[in-house]
Structure 1
Amino acid sequence: MNRIRIVAILSLLFGFMLMLLPVDSFAKGELVYVVPIEKTVEKGLYSFLKRAVETAENENADAIIFEINTPGGAVDAATDIGKLLTSTNIKTVAFINNRALSAGAYISLNMDEIYMVKGGTIGSAAIIDQQGNTAGKKAESYWFAEMKNAAKHADRNPIYALAMADENVDLPEYGAEKGKLLTLTSEQAVEVKYAEGIVNNLDELLELLGYTEADVRPLEVSMAEKIARFITNPFVYSILLTIGFLGIVLELFSPGFGVSGFIGISALLLFFYGHLVAGLTGYETLILFITGLALILLELFISGGIVGILGFVAIISSLFLAADNVVHMGISLLIAIVVSILISILLIKVFGKKLRLFKKLILTDSTNTESGYVSNINRSELVGLDGYALTILRPSGTILIGNERIDAVSEGAFIDKGSKVKVVKAEGARIVVRARTNLDK
């Protein structure tokens, strides 16, 4: 009887402990992350997607669904994202919710599966430079190979990926005869097996994939990452660099520290902030920049120019070290320096007399006689007056005329102290006297 009671009590305790354990202790549920890929593809997006993949890997997620709607962007950022997606063991799914063009098409092709909404498009992936022109042969050859390899990732026919990037590939049945890039509709993408299916929304996709009971966790871009994505855009950081250099140039010509210096330094610090958050650089580049700025300010107090040159080199070096693309940075710096110099000249030459700031920089007053300015004091009224020598004049000394002590020089000979003197000449502030004799009238 006692044994039965003991077994019953132990059974109750065991059952109570099982109730306290989480459900995952018995059977781990499926976990799916949903990650957006929106707007322009750049290095800031890569930083966000890297965080998303690492989060999913740490949580042992079953899949990551990337909701894509992008016109494309930087090739170097896209290739880094492609490597990131193909290196993870987690299932990756591209959900093209509108368009995946250019770099967006390349990113989609690097995923395990692709699904599209009705009316969605994928393709048009020509490589162009910052001026909007077709890139050189070497860059094109590299991009063609990347597009074909991306298609092969999921055993897709690479001819369509190549037609998206090379206008010389002839696919007239899909509207891509020679001279035109291939852009597939959702129906065409399914037909050529560049998409696994067409869905209306994310819920329908989850049902199709069998994740209706899964723990679906959206992973959004943080505010810091949004700022970083905006700043790391080459066009945006070119503007920031221009504002930064222009502000510093104007501040160097202004007395004290004013608004232009504050705006310039703030723009450059914002540039570094975006690249730090995006993971493109470290704090060492920021330290190098601050050191260069300090050296330039020190040059204002130390003559020679060497310290200022070292400061300028340190600032330029820090900007190149922070950049992910040396060519883009070189172009941006050239634009920033030229524009800041031209605007500085324009402001000084054209608006200098009108702007309050430049009234402190430019001398507008003239020191002429009409304005009451004189180069020296002329004491011509003293000529002919008599006085006494307060000191020996040999030849200079001090005389007394009336109650006024005056510095004077003798006409030639020494004049003893206490002798009578007469002013014979006044050359500006130089008073010439001679000893007075009884013969003088």
Structure 2
Amino acid sequence: MTATRLALRRMRLLLSLLCLITGFSMFLFTPGIQAQSYQKAVWIPVDNTIERGLESFLARAFADAQEEKADLVILHINTPGGEVDAADQIGQLIRQSPMHTIAYIDNQAFSAGTYIALNANEIIMTPGSSMGAATPIDLAGNAADIKFISGWSKKMTAAASLNQRNPDVARAMVEIDTEFPGLKPKGTVLSLDAQQAKTLGYADHVVSGKEELLASLGISSDSLHVIEPTGGEKVARWVTSPYVMSLLLVIGLVGIVVELFAPGFGVAGTISLVSFGLYFFGHYVAGFANWLHIGLFVIGILLMILEIFLPGGIVGAIGFISIVTGLVMAAYDTQQGLASLGIAAVVTLVVTFLLVKRYGIKGLFGKFVLGDAQHNEEGYVAPKDQRDLTGKSGIALTPLRPAGVVKVEGKRVDAVSAGGFIAAGTAIVVVQVEGTRVVVSEQE
């Protein structure tokens, strides 16, 4: 019995020792941030609302990082969300990058920001940060239709599966009308704090802050290269927001209408030019507009002005089409460009109606119609007899299309062309004089 008890005691001691070794080993090899040897690391901010301007900046930032031979990209994500289409393109940019990408969340990464984070190779959060609530909403703030939500849910689950994350968690962040036992009840969307994300496998690590993150990656603050957006890219991010796009077009078109009711070129015209200038500048910097689109807009404006002197409607119609084409083609998305222009057109029509109601139709055409009138009490001055100019030669001082100014015998004379257009500097001859009307033609 004594030998048996001794054997049992030895077996228990051996088992206890094995358990102790196993527990100690698990403690030692608990997954943490793997200290890898990175040759070059870059830090890229992903903040504020996600829109097409951010997509353009990140495309440039990733290209710069690759040129600098970087092998690690840290995306500092702090966003309430934004455009789904822009987030989709950014996610594709991250997936196609050969560099190891870490999504670092120290505040929030909601909606489209969560999708961007899920496309990264790793997600690292800080205590107090959160992610999720990825249900897409429309411009009115309401949840998108079922078809769109279903498609976005598929994209979210696909992004989650990239790094073996539970796709049901991603679906729970998107779908409101679906119940996920243990995650969320029906009628809500899922959001996760840092610890919940770590438990569910949606955060690979939780660190106290940037210093601990860099230390655990073996990166010094001095060697970390930060890629910031340029001033132009910041303007582009602001301008390419759908709300700002519509606002700039509204201000631009309304400014033109108000300018038509005001004498001279003043504040309204200046504001209109600045608004259109910002619109094209932002989209040009973001890479959506080019000189063709800007040229179409400028040509359209010139044709609309020319319509004032060449009535008939054809030139004005071509100018209008050119303006619309330039504005829409400059937008990052044709549908969004048409929507923004449509909103601006409706607002402009309302403003025009109110101005006409207030000032009358004469206020609109006051610039193009002579407002002076001659009254009997002011006397009458007979027009100068110019019949002696018939048959005499001269030169066109201004283009005649058909009216203009010519010089005959050293005198400036208002004249009209007997035929088509006569360019300035062309030799002319007076062919007819009827009262104050002097008709000229090109001298053969």
Fold conserved between structures, TM > 0.5: yes
1:168-211: CA deviation from partner (whole Å, max 9, x where unpaired): 3323534x211101101110100011011111211111112232
Q: Is 1:153 aligned to 2:169, yes or no?
A: no
Alignment of 1:22-421 (within 5 A): 30-174=39-183, 176-212=184-220, 215-350=223-358, 352=359
Contact in 2 for aligned 1:73/1:103 (Cα 8 Å) = yes
CA distance in 2, matches of 1:361, 1:177: 65
Q: Give aligned-pair identity as a percent.
A: 40
1:375 CA displacement: 11
**Which consecutive residues of structure 1, in runs of 5 or more, have no partner in the other structure?**
1-27, 378-441
CA distance in 2, matches of 1:159, 1:223: 41
- Which letter maps to 1:36? P
The structure-2 alpha-carbon separation of the partners of 1:210 and 1:367, relative to structure 1 and needing over 3 Å to count, comes to closer
1:327 CA displacement: 2.8
Contact in 1 for aligned 2:136/2:143 (Cα 8 Å) = yes
Contact in 1 for aligned 2:329/2:337 (Cα 8 Å) = no
CA distance in 2, matches of 1:375, 1:216: 83
The structure-2 alpha-carbon separation of the partners of 1:29 and 1:215, relative to structure 1 and needing over 3 Å to count, comes to farther
- Which letter maps to 1:244? G
| 181-190 or 319-328: bigger deviation | 319-328
CA distance in 1, matches of 2:320, 2:346: 15
1:256 CA displacement: 4.2
- Which letter maps to 1:87? Q
CA distance in 1, matches of 2:221, 2:129: 27
CA distance in 2, matches of 1:299, 1:366: 23
The structure-2 alpha-carbon separation of the partners of 1:373 and 1:60, relative to structure 1 and needing over 3 Å to count, comes to same
Contact in 2 for aligned 1:30/1:214 (Cα 8 Å) = no
CA distance in 1, matches of 2:235, 2:308: 35
Residue aligned with 1:215, SS: coil
1:316 CA displacement: 0.7
- Which letter maps to 2:115? Y
| 332-341 or 185-194: bigger deviation | 332-341
1:373 CA displacement: 6.0
Equivalent residue for 1:422? none
Residue aligned with 1:85, SS: helix
CA distance in 1, matches of 2:376, 2:165: 88
Contact in 1 for aligned 2:198/2:205 (Cα 8 Å) = yes
1:358 CA displacement: 8.2
1:281-336: CA deviation from partner (whole Å, max 9, x where unpaired): 22211111111111111111111011111111111111111112233222211211
Residue aligned with 1:173, SS: coil
CA distance in 2, matches of 1:284, 1:359: 32
The structure-2 alpha-carbon separation of the partners of 1:299 and 1:254, relative to structure 1 and needing over 3 Å to count, comes to farther
**Larger CA Rg, structure 1 vs 2:** 1
1:84 CA displacement: 0.3
Contact in 1 for aligned 2:44/2:226 (Cα 8 Å) = yes
Contact in 2 for aligned 1:29/1:215 (Cα 8 Å) = no
The structure-2 alpha-carbon separation of the partners of 1:338 and 1:207, relative to structure 1 and needing over 3 Å to count, comes to same
The structure-2 alpha-carbon separation of the partners of 1:213 and 1:287, relative to structure 1 and needing over 3 Å to count, comes to closer
Contact in 1 for aligned 2:251/2:271 (Cα 8 Å) = yes
CA distance in 2, matches of 1:308, 1:331: 23
CA distance in 2, matches of 1:313, 1:342: 21
Count the aligned residue pairs: 341
1:254 CA displacement: 4.5
CA distance in 2, matches of 1:304, 1:360: 19
1:67-102: CA deviation from partner (whole Å, max 9, x where unpaired): 111000001100000000000010000001100000
CA distance in 2, matches of 1:333, 1:142: 28
Contact in 2 for aligned 1:30/1:213 (Cα 8 Å) = no
Contact in 1 for aligned 2:38/2:71 (Cα 8 Å) = no
1:360-397: CA deviation from partner (whole Å, max 9, x where unpaired): 6799x9999xxx867999xxxxxxxxxxxxxxxxxxxx
1:277 CA displacement: 0.6
CA distance in 2, matches of 1:362, 1:299: 11
CA distance in 2, matches of 1:254, 1:329: 29
